[in-house]
A and B are shown apart, each in its own frame.
Chain A
């Protein structure tokens, strides 16, 4: 809940469409700046290639003109034009090939560069961000969003430049030949462009409607699949399927509306975008101009050779503009992640000499004016066990998240060995504690490396010692490749409790002096509970322990128990002291004793 509200907060500034467009264009420019030179080179090559690419057409047109005007034209002149045409065609081939190559290389490079940048930036962001929906977002920006930019980087920019060049050169040449006919050609192109713009005017609205309908289709299909057991056992398939049917119909309708709304403009733009249309228009007007003397027959020929090709040249420009739009959108998604606040790191980081933990008047809120931790102070001397108890929502978990700096406190401070945790480097801070929460983090790597990451210098003997104390050594030995079995690739046959013990072995190896623990982790896998408990018992030995407890019996020997209620400390003391208090803790204890 609270996490959601912080998200809302971040998204709150409402931008108008134009300023978003501008911002995303800027974001795009910034993101692409490392490969600027490649992109410019690609565009220059595209420019040259497209310009020279017209040489063969112009050459043919000129030959046609020449031989018609003067049937006795020397074969040398003709061969000269043939030569120009062939050289032009060849250069076009080479230049456009290199333009495409440079564009793709730029794509390969920038993908890598941005990915590395994202990874580096993520490493400096507050850990709390990752707990919300971090992984999904990371996956999206590192794959989908970046790939959406492919069209833009590798194709659109160059192709648009090429298209514009080709059109400009063609029109320039035709203008020299006969400006009246050129005007007619340009008019046809303009009509096409204008009608295209009209057809595309409402594209955003319609696209959004279609995307909405598509989302509904997917949601209803997934809802059906998610709830399939309920669907089958309660026979409610029909109702859910009608939701799906409606979504599909809605999609079809949205499409229909779009098509009918733009049927004229899109028909016109299609008509005018066709070479045949230009052929027809140019032939008829050409013949007319010839008969009234505005045009000579030889001057008519270039229009049939160069002019008719104009619509073909425009297509890449249209595709290009679509690529540009997609690219801008992705760029702003990527930049949103890259612009996330980093967690402030101290310049001269300090190292604690001992590992007691203290909270000094700590207040914290996920969203403004809504403190979930209110002015809390307590101390955990080195080597003692501190238990946090309280109903859900009392602030237990939040407290344990503040110590590793998932979030920074709003007020007050937290110290380890007297040093403010904000003065420690994140490597030292996180290296000083083992976090045993409900989420099990295993890397897609061998069992050995998964444990060794806690201490790169550890020998194989050290690792085995850790796995033995976590009661997982024998299980690992039975895996197909023992310690070299790669985890995370499908079903490797480790149960939840076994994976848990693997992460505990990792914590053992790091031998961090502080252990932050959620007791619930022990009972995630009932079949393994005893072993997980044993592993945890060996982990916490002689450590400064801060743990969230649910079963009060578990913590009855803790050095101190902190009872939380709505973000404040309701009671504090040992089990016996709290029972004597006859207050909140005593009531909770009573309730649990009866149940057992």
Chain B
């Protein structure tokens, strides 16, 4: 773990300096205890030899002052190191995040990121400093004492020497078993968390089923399981816990017995016996403390694992000599195949979108429409085949150049927690009022801006929650207008829009597509949108099953015709009692 911790830190000098400081402190602590030996030797004579004591006292005094200085400076140095480490780790993590492929950013991963960038990095930085010192001391002080003891009585020193490795081995064993138990308990707790969320969401269903106050059988089982796992973990750690404390105490008993034995058989003098007793107590106390550090070490280990995992996530590969010039806005999909895991979700798909054309993607959910859009925007790289923009493979294009020429309008639009105006300006920070107005009009924002009390300066709320879904999509369309990107990828909002929004969005999308230089690919749900496209691609289970102009496809009387039929049916639904 120490090695992995060391690896994690970009600036090693901080941690090295701190470690050296604590090693000195620990050695000094042991040596100062050693100085006590001659002092006691002189003191414990029938006639105390104060003259010799003085010399030792001066030596001890100097050591003591050094120790105090080290202690005083160690705390700001420690805190400083901790601060630096946290800062470095956080910057490293974020630096990595900026280079990850867009596909990485799922809600799971974002929750993980939030935890890593605050709790985990903080914990590592804090613990590296706060438990580093005690851990070094708890190991080095006993070691120094062993050395000191050798000068007094080698037999007792050998006894000490025997206790220490045994204690350390048992400590490791204890730690492993405790870690195992902790992992199991965390699993049980995670299950409870899942059930707790379900309990909240399913409350109505549960109550209707008369299970409101007890929850489902699974919930009860999960709660019971947590208790069982907890108690099992306790039972399993009984032996190792007792063993460790037992080893320390056995060492203690052995030392007391042997010193007493040696003393009674006059192998050690009175002062020696007393000194040995004192050293024994000081030797065992730090060892006993080591087990207290186990929990913290484990927590740190887990945090390091999570940070490391993130730092090792592969980034999007970039071309060595990227092309920084996009010749035209045509898009060429050449026999591409892609899988998130084992099973391909896109299989041998090919089509061509000339510059200025509008292509509508249709197909059932799970047919691969969204994945296709994501591949074009390089959320992921294809497994086989190639996607070309203006004739150049997108993997050869400079990423920023490419992103500059693409605007994406998603269903779940992300707006930053600021005003509508600021959200538009993101697309073009130096846009003039006139340009803003033009974009707003094209995106059918005018009506909305008029209605909102603060107009352009209306706050969008966190994640844009203040505005309705349709309104948010209109803002993002305006953003795309303002950016003047030549390629626009749209996932048309399909769900339950109120009639006003639906109308506004259709118009806005029609406005976007009308530009002769703009290439649009749209996941379409409305017949009106599809009918105005130059070509329609029908996807089914990741394959292109139909491809052609709306009129051609209608005549084929295949998937597309069926799609239109269904839409008609949808509109004609009536609820009858």
Contacts and interface: CB of A to CB of B under 8 A. Distances in A.
A275 B106 CA distance: 51
Contact of A553 (B39, B285, B571): B571
Interface stretch (A8-16, A173-181, A262-270, A355-363): A262-270
Contact of A123 (B194, B214, B218, B274): B214
Interface stretch (A28-36, A321-329, A436-444, A462-470): A436-444
B44 A68 contact: yes
A138 B193 CA distance: 8
Contacts of B280: 60
Interface string A479-511: 000000000100001011100000000100010
Contacts of B483: 233-234
Interface of B: 28-29, 32-33, 36, 39-40, 43-44, 48, 50, 53, 57, 60-61, 64, 67-68, 71-72, 74-76, 79-80, 82-83, 86-87, 90-91, 94, 97-98, 102, 105, 109-110, 113-114, 117-118, 122, 189, 192-216, 218-219, 223-224, 226-227, 230-231, 234, 238, 241-242, 245-246, 249, 252-253, 256-257, 260, 263-264, 270, 273-274, 277-278, 280-282, 285, 289, 363-366, 377, 400, 403-404, 406-408, 410, 414, 416-417, 426-427, 463, 468, 479, 483, 485, 494-496, 498-499, 502-503, 525, 566, 569-577
Interface string A556-596: 11110000000000000000000000000000000110011
B209 A225 contact: no
7 contacts: A56-B256, A68-B44, A68-B274, A229-B102, A312-B285, A427-B207, A523-B494
Given A123-B213, A276-B67, A67 B274 contact: yes
Contact of A244 (B94, B408, B495, B499): B94
B192 A115 contact: yes
Contact of B213 (A120, A245, A385): A120
Q: Ordered nearest first, which 9 A-B pairs have the shortest CB separation?
A: A135-B200, A123-B212, A123-B213, A520-B496, A430-B208, A108-B230, A526-B494, A495-B365, A385-B577
A119 B113 CA distance: 30
Contacts of B426: 230, 234, 236
Contacts of B211: 123, 453
A266 B198 CA distance: 47
A559 B575 CA distance: 10
A263 B80 CA distance: 12
Contact of A304 (B102, B113, B278): B278
Contact of A139 (B193, B214, B406): B193
Q: Which of B61, B80, B197, B205: most chain A CB closer than 10 A?
A: B205
B60 A138 contact: no
Given A229-B414, A427-B210, 8 more contacts: A89-B253, A123-B206, A123-B211, A135-B201, A227-B416, A229-B377, A523-B570, A550-B499
B577 A85 contact: no
B550 to A, nearest CB: 18
Given A291-B50, A550-B499, A496 B365 contact: yes
Contacts of A493: 366
A533 interface: yes
A370 interface: no
Given A93-B242, A107-B230, A252 B86 contact: yes
B227 A234 contact: no
Contacts of B503: 595
A137 B196 CA distance: 9
A522 B242 CA distance: 63
A585 to B, nearest CB: 14
A60 B280 CA distance: 10
A78 B281 contact: no
Q: Is the interface of B mostly helix, strand, loop or mixed?
A: helix
A109 interface: yes
B498 A392 contact: yes
A305 B212 contact: no
B231, B241, B274, B410 interface centre (most CB from chain A within 10 Å): B274
Contacts of A232: 102, 403
Contacts of A530: 566, 569-570, 573
B403 A233 contact: yes
Contact of A592 (B226, B241, B499): B499
A110 to B, nearest CB: 10
A277 interface: yes
A524 B525 CA distance: 12
Contacts of B404: 235
B365 A123 contact: no
A408 to B, nearest CB: 15
A63 B572 CA distance: 100
Interface stretch (A17-25, A188-196, A214-222): A214-222
A227 B83 CA distance: 28
Contacts of B364: 495, 527
A417 interface: no
Contact of B36 (A251, A283, A521): A283
Given A225-B105, A553-B571, A453 B209 contact: yes
Contact of A105 (B28, B214, B231): B231
Nearest to B109: A225
A225 B113 contact: yes
A557 B575 contact: yes
Contacts of A97: 241-242, 245
B75 A263 contact: yes
Interface in A290-306: 290-291, 297, 300-301, 304-305
Nearest to A75: B264
A499 to B, nearest CB: 11
Contacts of A592: 499
Contacts of A522: 573
B249 A130 contact: no
Interface stretch (A40-48, A200-208, A371-379, A540-548): A540-548
B480 to A, nearest CB: 9
B427 A441 contact: no
Contact of B193 (A123, A127, A142, A454): A142
